Amino acid sequence: VLVSPDGRNIRIPNTDVISNTVVNMTREGHLRSSARVGVAYGSDLASVRTLLLTAAANVTGVMTDPAPTAGVIEFDDSAVVFEIRFWHIPTAAASFTVTAAMYEAIDSALSANGIVIPFPQRDVWVRAPAAPATPETEIHTE
């Protein structure tokens, strides 16, 4: 019987344990988590990476060995998306607490350095008709 992070008992039949691979996430004493953040196009990407790693160094619970890593993972419609990967002790409570603290540290570091976290935007272009409307192409509303 296993106990889930929210206190529920989990029963795994022996046949499942014998016939499947079992991953023990607590054996090694550390677990990797990640956080993603998008920054505005035109931002200094090297500076953003440095800010993310500096933010991680200031989050309680983030391990220094193995060291956190960060980099660009995607060019999104509205942002250049970074991911920072970091290690911490392997409990559900620690995973949530450390990840939440990481996002707060990232937000503080980026905003203190003028790096914008953009929101999705769309540009709508209204074009003038190519030729003046004729009676056949006019739309009448009544």
Contacts of 113 (CB under 8 A, 6+ apart): 47, 51
What stretches of the chain adopt beta strand conformation (E)? 2-3, 9-10, 31-39, 69-75, 80-88
Tell which residue, 75, 72, 93, has the closest CA to residue 83: 72
* Domain contains 131: no
Run means of pLDDT, 10 residues per run, the chain, 142 residues: 72 86 72 94 97 96 93 96 93 84 98 94 81 63 62
Domain of 93? Answer: 25-112
d(C-alpha 62, C-alpha 36), whole Å: 16
* Domain contains 19: no
Tell which residue, 41, 44, 57, has the closest CA to residue 120: 41
Question: The domain spanning residue 107 has which CATH number?
Answer: 3.30.70.100
Q: What is the predicted pLDDT for the residue at 23?
A: 74
* Domain contains 86: yes
Q: What is the predicted pLDDT for the residue at 29?
A: 73
Q: What is the predicted pLDDT for the residue at 20?
A: 87
Q: 82 burial class (0-12, 13-18, 19+ CB within 10 angstroms)?
A: buried
Q: What is the predicted pLDDT for the residue at 22?
A: 78
* Domain contains 35: yes
Omega cis (within 30) before 66 = yes
Q: What is the predicted pLDDT for the residue at 27?
A: 66
Residue type, 63: M
Tally of domains in the chain: 1
* Domain contains 71: yes
Q: 36 burial class (0-12, 13-18, 19+ CB within 10 angstroms)?
A: middle
* Domain contains 80: yes
* Domain contains 15: no
* Domain contains 78: yes
